[in-house]
Chain A
């Protein structure tokens, strides 16, 4: 009898201890019913791709009832699968943004099947109807931003030679190079863009070398498409060249040499997705948009941008805000002389053909 009551007392003490122990956790969960996980492939203060996403994540932290968990420098291998599982199992994440392109296949798809109740949205345009329904893609037409960069660059350039440091010759990058050239040529048809591919998304030494080589070759405005534009921007500004930014705002790195920049505005997409989740429904599976949708934005003009350049870029931007602006429109040839678009043919920003771009337009020096 005594032994029995003792064991019951032990049991009571034990359970209350467990209850006490789990209390803060339970309270934390009750106060923040939606946990959103962000995974970055590089450091989140890289002045580039990852920082743009981290700024989007930071915008969510202000929303009541939302808790944001973040992890940076996550490799595109089983590491990212384990990170997603850890966010789901240990943090209770129900919406996850694996932001790097290489996270999608197979890593995110595997986790989608393992965790059917969790929503996954991936940056890029890879999702198709054949993929799980709790997966999805979002992306922006940032070539529009590079087109505006090109306009501003053309007004600032004296040598009429522009430089572009590019990572890999893939469709998204090629669209940006083409956009930059065509924007510049809309101002002055004699302008050329020299492009150098580094072959890697993040390779600081080669990016610095490429920037120096472009400037040595006479380029006086530089832009880029690499994960972290920091090295390119700083190197170019130090050499006295003007800079157009990419991914995020790099004006602090180039001071007076920064003209403008094509930036992501992921916060607008992330806020919509979170609002959907809080309303109890799944976010859309496939989202794309450009300047008119607020997915892409431009850095504020730097002090070196002339009034004429501002007026020109603002006018084109106003055109773009109406939607359906075609950067690639005929008659247009690639830099090997092949016809891309005949007279009267035009590809609006959402044209499916632009997903398969494998050419550099006439006026771009360099080969894909």
Chain B
């Protein structure tokens, strides 16, 4: 599983027999930095290599890679408009990626976030109806809660199937996603349908009062801000709490976790449910900040791009933010590339696919480069100590 490829926690300062002296803080920091550098350098290197391979692909097509990079810059990053475009596209990806990254801590590969997004959107739109007339400060969080609850239930069920029935979570989540989309269509075209929506079946509108606006001073809706906060919270949960630690142990070795008495089943259900809740929030923002009702446009494929984002970020919730921004930028520039280079939209999918492949391959490189090894720096410590002793 991809999640257990995180570099094993090497003991930083191995107690050298007969050497009671602890390493100086500066050297310890250098060793720490070396190990962290690996986590950044390998994915960045992989992305660069992916772009390199893609350049070959462009050259075969007779197109200029330089033009391509220029247009990616112009379309995705080079101006306030381009930046906001990228950030806007990154917002739903933050939530969608967490639906993959959180279960991945337990070694689970959940790829059904799309269903949770759609279902979350429908739940939010449905919840808005009985809340009409309530103050928005109360109703909008309740809508978000309804969405999160629906998503948690859906993906949590996948976790429960895994934990208590041994059903493969990857297949189950994908099939549950199809069921969620079919169920949402059924609701949108059935009991929840606004009879006025003839040729594009939609739920009743949530109403202007409950619409979520843009971030102050930006043309990007609040999904981005909340997404960043949720990513941060997910990071704290996985890296800074005992629960997150327990989840990582269970992800590393289920038997060991069980012997330690960790509640593996509950961890699996809990983390998948949290992932589902996150994905569903993307649906909530699509409804509350973009569409104003739930309709078939909710099924826009964010859930699938989210898988790519999570893997590129190596399932680190903090890493998700820059990666989502990068992919948002690539998608934002896709239009300009189509229009200026006369390349089909699939070009960007080829790039994304290559990046995915190279990053997966790069997983095998961890621990292969000596430069990142803390032991290298530990050796340096010893030699410097030896030099000091000789002097």
Query: What is A's interface to B at a CB cutoff of 8 Å?
Result: 43, 69-79, 82-83, 85-87, 89-91, 101-102, 105-106, 124-126, 168-172, 199-201, 355-356
Contacts and interface: CB of A to CB of B under 8 A. Distances in A.
Most A-side CB within 10 Å, residue of B88, B201, B338: B338
| Interface pairs A-B: 7 shortest CB-CB | A76-B297, A73-B345, A75-B300, A69-B339, A71-B335, A82-B85, A72-B345
B345 A78 contact: no
Contacts of A90: 74-75, 336
Contacts of B338: 70-72
Contacts of B346: 43, 73
A132 B221 CA distance: 24
B209 interface: no
Given A86-B335, A91-B339, A199 B185 contact: yes
Nearest to B299: A200
26 contacts: A70-B338, A70-B339, A71-B334, A71-B339, A72-B344, A73-B345, A75-B297, A76-B297, A77-B290, A77-B300, A78-B88, A82-B332, A83-B335, A86-B75, A86-B81, A86-B335, A90-B75, A90-B336, A102-B296, A125-B199, A126-B199, A168-B201, A170-B201, A172-B199, A200-B185, A200-B296
Interface string B328-364: 0001101110110000111000000000000000000
A101 B296 CA distance: 11
Given A69-B339, A78-B290, A355 B295 contact: no
Nearest to B301: A75
B286 A77 contact: yes
A74 B345 CA distance: 9
A86 B86 CA distance: 12
B345 A85 contact: no
B169 interface: no
Contacts of B61: none
The binding surface of chain B is classed by DSSP as: helix
A171 B198 contact: yes
Given A85-B85, A106-B292, 5 more contacts: A43-B345, A75-B297, A77-B291, A86-B75, A105-B200
A190 B332 CA distance: 54
B89 interface: yes
A231 B332 CA distance: 30
Interface residues of B, number: 33
Contacts, number: 85
Interface in B184-229: 185, 189, 198-201, 221
Which among A70, A75, A85, A126 has the highest number of chain B CB atoms within 10 Å? A75
B367 to A, nearest CB: 39
B182 interface: yes
Contact of A170 (B89, B199, B290, B339): B199
Interface of B: 74-75, 81, 85, 88-89, 182, 185, 189, 198-201, 221, 286, 290-292, 295-297, 300-301, 331-332, 334-336, 338-339, 344-346
B200 A82 contact: no
Contact of A101 (B199, B332, B334): B199
Nearest to A44: B344
Contacts of B292: 106
Given A71-B338, A77-B297, A106-B292, A82 B344 contact: no
Contacts of B221: 78
Given A70-B338, A82-B332, A83-B335, A76 B199 contact: no
B140 to A, nearest CB: 18
A185 B332 CA distance: 50
A216 to B, nearest CB: 23
A74 B89 CA distance: 12
A78 B288 CA distance: 12
Given A82-B85, A172-B199, A102 B297 contact: yes
A82 B88 contact: yes
Contacts of A169: 189
Given A86-B75, A199-B185, A71 B345 contact: yes
Q: Which of B81, B85, B200, B346 has most chain A Cβ within 10 Å?
A: B200
Contacts of A172: 199
Contacts of B334: 71
Nearest to B349: A73
A168 B346 CA distance: 27
Contacts of B331: 79
A139 to B, nearest CB: 10
Given A89-B81, A199-B182, A199-B185, A74 B335 contact: yes
Nearest to B92: A77
B200 A101 contact: yes
A74 B338 CA distance: 11
A199 B290 CA distance: 23
Contact of A43 (B182, B198, B199, B344): B344
B296 to A, nearest CB: 7
Contact of A76 (B81, B198, B300, B345): B300
A101 B198 CA distance: 11
Contacts of A43: 344-346
Contacts of B345: 43, 71-73
A241 to B, nearest CB: 27
A309 B338 CA distance: 44
Contacts of B185: 199-200
A301 to B, nearest CB: 31
B199 A86 contact: no
Contacts of A171: 198-199
A124 B198 CA distance: 11
A143 B336 CA distance: 36
A77 B221 CA distance: 12
Contacts of A91: 339
Given A69-B339, A73-B345, A79 B89 contact: yes
A82 B296 CA distance: 20
Nearest to A91: B339
A125 B199 CA distance: 9
Contacts of B182: 199
Nearest to A45: B344
A81 B331 CA distance: 14
Contacts of B344: 43, 72
Contacts of B198: 170-171, 355-356
A71 B331 CA distance: 12
Contacts of A105: 200
Query: Which residue of A82, A83, A101, A126 has the most chain B CB atoms within 10 A of its CB atom?
Result: A82
